[in-house]
Homo-oligomer: A and B are copies of this chain.
Amino acid sequence: MTSQYKASRFMALPERPTPAYRLSGMCLPAPLSVGELETFSAISRQISPLRKRQTLFAQGEALKSLYIVRCGSLKQVYRDITDEAHITQFYLPGEVVGLDAISTGFHPGTTQALETTSVCEILPEALEEFSRKEAAEKGGNGCFLRVMSRALHQERMMVRLLLNRTSDVRLASFLLALSTRFRQQGYSPFCFRLSMSRSDIGNYLGLAVETVSRLLGRFQDLGLLTAKGREIRVDDLDGLMALADGRARQSIWHAGIVPPSSCRLAGMPAH
């Protein structure tokens, strides 16, 4: 037992000792790796697909099972005491739904399908059995815990992303995250369909719908992408990434193309 081994006891599969992470692509919870997915598949069972707008569970409902998204997508909506709705997560294929209910035993938000969506159910008995076995083998440091830790970390990065960043950076990061996810699922990272509305995106990113719309228009003017309704085609991935990493020269409104009238200075006397 080397000291190297000792030091890495908490580790699952050491991924990489990255000292600093990029902000871009941090907008969505990390999916399970292929190996993890297989593991969980073994203890889960498919349930009949959800139609658009159908809910998987409602806010306040007791946690019965965890779920893994197979295909399609869901949004988790948390309604606060002032009855305002906040979208706290989008769940895409490969992601685990329900982790945030474990502490209280009740779901903190309603989760509903954005399109026809199929999920697998991880029954508690199966998970229990699985955990027991895993714990015996690896000392309680199983992939379940790892998934959770990753979600936690992602969430912290998300806070940072949304906090000090301008609207353009937020949206660019979000789109890149989606693009990455689609690539991981074997779809084109350049051409995909948004399953969520503009207002869902705005809500999630803390932006007004109008801002999302304007930004998409602006990205198009800059040649970064083409948006037709909910169809997105990424034309300049590097450009988008530069934007998302804050590495763009200046505000996108001053990057050559004519700014919209509302941003031109109202030439007021500088008395």
Query: Could you tell me which A residues sit within 8 Å of B by CB distance?
Result: 6-12, 14-23, 30, 59-60, 62-64, 66, 78-82, 84, 86, 88-89, 99-106, 108, 124-125, 127-132, 134-136, 139-142, 144-153, 155-156, 158-160, 162-164, 205-206, 245-247, 268
Contacts and interface: CB of A to CB of B under 8 A. Distances in A.
Contacts of A149: 99-103, 148
A107 to B, nearest CB: 10
Contacts of A159: 88, 155, 158-159, 162
A99 B30 CA distance: 16
A10 B78 contact: no
Among the interface residues A6, A21, A79, A136, which one has the most CB atoms of the partner chain B within 10 A?
Answer: A21
Contacts of A245: 81-82
A139 B145 contact: no
Given A21-B108, A78-B160, A135-B140, 7 more contacts: A9-B128, A17-B62, A19-B60, A131-B140, A135-B135, A148-B149, A268-B268
Copy number of this protein in the oligomer? 2
Contacts of A84: 164
A47 B16 CA distance: 29
B139 A136 contact: no
| Centre residue among A80, A101, A147 by max chain B CB count within 10 A | A80
A10 B140 CA distance: 16
Contact of A145 (B16, B86, B104, B148): B148
A160 to B, nearest CB: 5
A105 B15 contact: yes
A106 B150 CA distance: 11
B246 A82 contact: yes
Q: Which 3 residue pairs spanning A and B have beta carbons closest together?
A: A131-B140, A11-B105, A135-B135
A190 to B, nearest CB: 24
